[in-house]
Amino acid sequence: MSNEESKVLQIISNFPNLDGRIRQIAPKRIFTDPLESGEFHQLVSYIHDEMGFFRAHHAVGVDDGENLGFIYIFSDEDNTILAAKQTVPKENPEIESLNKLYPSLLLHELELADLFGAVISGLPDVPHYPLPDGWPEGSYPMRKEWKPEYFNKETMTYEPPEEVQKNG
């Protein structure tokens, strides 16, 4: 059994609900399926406290249509990468910050808020990043329905035609 497989088994033995939803996809790569907020945070606390995943490299936002996915990338002493995915409805993209557990995630979570519209509780009061001041409210450029051709750089307004707004 590989090192990664034994780590997957350890997680499944503690979280039976993740059986079939977490797997090794390549050497040194463990990925989860998109998880609900509660199970995501339980998993992250466990791998941080009990399994030595002390590094958080990255938080990647993805647009899955009706949902937004937030992929948090961790690694341990063996340099095994664990990509834990959290999914939330696009209509109500509320997540909790992991910044207290992993201070290195601050900029990445700020990006998720600015570019994907994630509503993140527990973030410190820091300047906007990376979008400029005056960026239109409710305009999230990394969502698939956001098209650069409808953004006016001079007036800083985003005005898609009505039929685009309806159809997304």
Partner 1 sequence: MADDNKVIIPIGPQHPSLDEPASFTVTLSGERVDNVVIGIGYNHRGLEKACESRTYVQDLYIVERVCGICSHSHTSAFCMGVEQLAGVTVPDRAEYIRAIVAELERLHSHLLWLGVAGHEIGFDTLFMYTWRDREKVLDLLAAIGGNRINYSVNTFGGVRRDLDESIFAKITATLNELEKQINYYLELAQTELTLKARLSGIGCLSKEDALKFGATGPVLRAAGVAQDIRTAEPYGAYKNFEVNVITHTAADVFGRTAVRILEMLESIRIIRHCIKEMPEGAILAKVPRRIPEGEVIVRMEAPRGENIHYIRSNGTDKPDRIRVRAPSEANWHGMQHMLKGEYLADVPISIAAIDPCYSCTDRAITVNSDGTRKVTDWQSIRKYGIDWYKKRGLDMADIRLERGV
- Residue 13 or 130: the one with the smaller Cβ distance to partner 1 is 130
Chain centroid, CA 92 distance in Å = 14
Q: Which amino acid is at 122?
A: G
142 belongs to the binding site for partner 1 (CB under 8 A): yes
Helix (H, G, I), strand (E, B) or coil at 154: coil
- Kindly state the helix (H) or strand (E) to which residue 35 belongs, with its residue range: strand 29-35
Region near partner 1 per CB under 8 A, out of 2-10, 12-20, 42-50, 61-69: 61-69
Q: Which residues lie below 8 Å from residue 16, measured CB to CB, with a gap of 6+?
A: none
Q: Binder to partner 1 among 11, 31, 44, 72 (CB under 8 A)? A: 31
- Residue 51 or 60: the one with the smaller Cβ distance to partner 1 is 60
102 belongs to the binding site for partner 1 (CB under 8 A): yes
- Residue 13 or 49: the one with the smaller Cβ distance to partner 1 is 49
- Residue 16 or 133: the one with the smaller Cβ distance to partner 1 is 133
DSSP assigned state of 33: E
- The sign of the CA dihedral 46, 54, 102, 1 is negative
141 belongs to the binding site for partner 1 (CB under 8 A): yes
106 belongs to the binding site for partner 1 (CB under 8 A): yes
Which 3-state string (H, E, C) describes 36-86? CHHHHHHHHHHHHHCCCCCEEEEEEEEEECCEEEEEEEEECCCCCEEEEEE
Report which of 91, 81, 88, 94 is spatially closest to residue 32, judged by C-alpha positions: 81
123 belongs to the binding site for partner 1 (CB under 8 A): no
- Residue 35 or 73: the one with the smaller Cβ distance to partner 1 is 73
Least distance in Å: CB of 16 to partner 1? 25
Q: Which positions lie near partner 1, rule CB under 8 A?
A: 26, 28-29, 31, 54-58, 60-63, 71, 73, 79, 81, 83, 102-108, 126-132, 141-142, 144, 146, 148
